[in-house]
Chain A
Amino acid sequence: MTRQFKWDSGLGLLGLLLLFVGSYIGLFVAPAERYMGETQRIMYVHVPCAWNAMLLYTLAFIFAIVSLWTHRPKWDAVTTAAVEVGIVLNALLLVQGSIWARATWGVWWDWDVRLTTSLIMVLLFAGVLALRSFVHDAGRRATWTAIATIVAFVDVPLVYFCVRWWRSLHQVQSTPDTVAPMMVVPLRINAFAILFLAIWMMAQRVRVELARRAQDQVAEPERIAPIGGSTNA
């Protein structure tokens, strides 16, 4: 193992630093919300997690198409990494949202359209990983991962637009016009912080995935397996 400094380590450190700065401003500099009070500060992690989870799933969708198109192991690894990190942020988002909901709406959970589609989103992408773990052959695993990712992506625009299309408990998106300027600052900083940390996590996962694949190939030379074929029966 060489100990050289990798580009993503720098990004990870920058993300950590920004998360510290953004959270400090969010907790101590930004004002408390006029009605929600201190509780509103959970927004500075909740909203960045939501943005980045949806961004990572969107990237996974694009990577999945490229993976199907080119069939290069690299794209399969990147797709999987984006799905995995997306799931982490999605799970965080649900937990943070639930805490915020208890303090604001008065309940931990409600089957409103935003909450339900967000829960379905994490389950769908967890399903992608489950499906992936069932497929032994690397070539087929890449194909099925990509197809499942593309289909699971359906829910992502739904999560975003559902509050505009249908009635819900969750409010519609805020804009810089509806948020006090001193609240926008920590929100933006933390959004980039979590984005950088997510890219850092993805880079680690891609490396692990490619290394694992290389190891598998040493142990058992990869056979070319067409879809639906039975060459490795």
Chain B
Amino acid sequence: MSSERNRRRILAVAAIMVAAGVLAFLAFGGIGENLVYYWSPTELQASGEQAQGATIRLGGLVEPGSIQHSEDGLTLKFAVTDGEASIPINTTSVPPAMFREGVGVVVEGSVNRAGEFETQRLLVKHDNQYQAPGEGESLDMAEMMKSMQFEMEKQDKEKESAE
């Protein structure tokens, strides 16, 4: 019976090691570098004409003052920024109620020949701030930018290089 018990204990250790190994691979294997949920405007701009035509997601903040509705109300234009680069967006989709200046958005679509990002899927990203109306209503772009994970990545890298 004791060998049977040992066998189960070995299985327990093996199962934990498999679980830990998979997790470590996912955490430190650099998957994030190949598998990106959205591009930042800087990254999209850097890729230049290569990005034209391909279906991609772009994430950033809606640039204040950039929202323009066409006269017939059918198309919406605005710009998405990460503080450095700014990409013009063109869409005929109806924006979610949360859409406003300075909010984080993720748009899915592609860059056309004119260099505009055409999208039919416009998602509004929410940050982790939950406040009552009137409290801390400053629309600080630097503060809002924290809702974008590429900003967190950048800050992490800065922290690492400072150490």
- Distance between Cα atoms of A216 and B109 in the complex (Å): 58
Name the one of A33, A36, A151, A227 contacting B7, with C-beta atoms under 8 angstroms.
A227
Count of chain A residues with a beta carbon within 8 Å of a chain B beta carbon: 49
* A113 lies within 8 A of B37 (CB): yes
* B18 lies within 8 A of A151 (CB): yes
Is the CB of B83 closer than 8 A to any CB of chain A?
no
The B interface is mostly helix, strand or loop, or mixed, namely mixed
* A68 lies within 8 A of B9 (CB): yes
Name the one of B36, B98, B128 contacting A167, with C-beta atoms under 8 angstroms.
B36
Is the CB of A74 closer than 8 A to any CB of chain B?
no
List of B residues within 8 angstroms of A143 by Cβ: 8, 11
A104-B96, A154-B22 known; A33 and B132 CB under 8 Å?
yes
Residues of chain A in range 4-45 having any CB-CB distance to chain B below 8 Å: 31-36, 40, 43
Name the one of B12, B23, B35, B36 contacting A68, with C-beta atoms under 8 angstroms.
B12
* A68 lies within 8 A of B126 (CB): no
Closest Cβ of chain B: how far from A68's Cβ, in Å?
4
- Distance between Cα atoms of A168 and B153 in the complex (Å): 12
Among listed B46-54, B65-73, B110-118, B133-141, interface-contacting one: B133-141
Count of chain B residues with a beta carbon within 8 Å of a chain A beta carbon: 52
List of A residues within 8 angstroms of B59 by Cβ: 167
List of A residues within 8 angstroms of B153 by Cβ: 167
Is the CB of A172 closer than 8 A to any CB of chain B?
yes
Closest Cβ of chain B: how far from A181's Cβ, in Å?
9
* B127 lies within 8 A of A171 (CB): yes
Name the residue of chain B whose CB is nearest to the CB of A152.
Answer: B19
List of B residues within 8 angstroms of A165 by Cβ: 27, 32
Task: Please list the residues of chain A having a beta carbon within 8 angstroms of any beta carbon in chain B.
Answer: 31-36, 40, 43, 65, 68-69, 71, 103-107, 110, 112-113, 143, 146-147, 150-151, 153-154, 157-158, 161, 163-169, 171-175, 178-180, 182-183, 226-227
